[in-house]
Amino acid sequence: MKLYAQHGYGEAEKINQGLQKGIISGAVYSAKDITPDRLNNRLSEIAASSPSAARIFDPQYYVSLIGSDPNIRLGKLEEYPYFRIRRRSQLESNQLITDEIRKVIKFQISLPVTAIISPNILISRSFDSVEAVIAKNFIRQAKGIYEEFSDNRPLYVTLAVSREALIDFTELEAFLNDVTILNSPPDGFYLLVGARSIEARTDLYHTDVIANWMLLNYSLKINGYQIINGYSDLISPFLGAVGGDIGCTGWWSNLRIFSMDRFAPEVTGGRLPVQRYLSTKLLNRITFYELGALRRIIPNVANELPMDEKYEGEPERSIEVLQSWEALSSLLAIITASGDSYKNLEKCAEAIKSAEDLYTSIKARYRLDAKSDDTHLEPLQEGMNLFKKRAEI
């Protein structure tokens, strides 16, 4: 599995540095946080400086159904020629969906991207719903419309689903049966799993969510699709273990968890978050000061990677995401190296067991911040076990 940067506000030199260091393989740019002209320039710059890097654009069309909220933050999204506020009832029209897909693809055709992302809406409640019917219509039409442009870049269709919808295994199975037997299939999917808010970590670290997110990757892969997992962050290794091709993460919490909360009114007056360190041994991030304390009593909590030297004290704020990318890329290389899902899952189980043992050692000697604790390990283990049962591995 490869790792891409999930772009958002405050890019500066982060993506350039990540590509130059070889710790990411590409980037997914978000319409909300960059103007069309600047997007074209940035993609061209990356093409020139890192020609092998993947350059992807998320049109964020799924925002169109919530855009009528007067408090919504659309950012630069309103400047894109394809974006319009829509009502769900309007998208029950096949012709309107055709027109919407064509506009989004047409905009991307002229960009120096390495693949095209076709739009879709968010399935917010259930796979057995009007939203799901609309979403399947976007999926079915995408390839035929794309072929009108005689372009040979890969086509990925957005599949955005809430954790509430993903939890229902029976409805997920029925949905997968429909999208894996398409007459005119795309090359792959840009898969987004949505939490209720960017702070709701337990929304995604939930047994059924992890199991079914893994199942989505596994089922799509065995049916010949490529999968880009947006905002997948530390769940990426488990998705890559069973067929996911790309994982993505960024520098803010709203670039590590997909949520429509990203477009909600901004809360002012808050402080910048404490900088954290991604420990591959813990499968989690801890604060920089926790790392400093633990290094003196449990040295193997550190990754033993080049960016570790930047954490002798409080690092510069731009360093945090580079360290995260480096650590996550290292973890992906270890866990997803084999093309055999069974062997990869064994690596996942070993990583969880090692993290449990290390947390046990830490608990005896040091009290961690709530976000740094081991509550993520049980849903990872149980989710993986449930996936194996459902996939019959």
pLDDT tens-place string over residues 178-189: 998 899 999 999
pLDDT the model gives residue 12: 96
Q: What is the pLDDT of residues 284-336, one digit of tens each?
A: 999 999 999 999 999 899 999 999 999 999 999 999 999 999 999 999 999 99
Whether the Cβ atoms of residue 323 and residue 275 lie closer than 8 Å to each other: no
Residue 139 near residue 190, CB atoms below 8 Å: no
Tell me the C-alpha distance between 335 and 350, whole Å: 9
- Smallest CA-to-CA distance from 151 within 101, 103, 109, 100 is with 109
The amino acid sitting at 172 is L
Q: How far is residue 194's CA from residue 164's CA, in Å, rounded to a whole number? A: 9
For 251, half-sphere exposure in the C-beta direction (CA atoms, 13 angstrom radius) is 20
Q: Which pLDDT tens digit goes with each residue over 10-28? A: 999 999 999 999 999 999 9
Name the residue with tokens 């900088």. Answer: 275
Assign 268 a pLDDT band (cuts: 50, 70, 90). low
Which residue segments constitute the domains of the chain, with CATH numbers given? 2-263 (3.20.20.380), 276-391 (no CATH)
Compute the C-alpha angle 74/76/77, nearest 5°.
Answer: 60
pLDDT at 68 (0 to 100): 65
- Strands 155-162 and 122-123, by their bridges, are parallel
| pTM of the model as a whole | 0.96
Query: What letters, b where the CB count within 10 A reaches 16 and e where it falls short, cover 29-63?
Result: bbbbbbeeeebbebbeebeeebeebbbbbbbbbbb
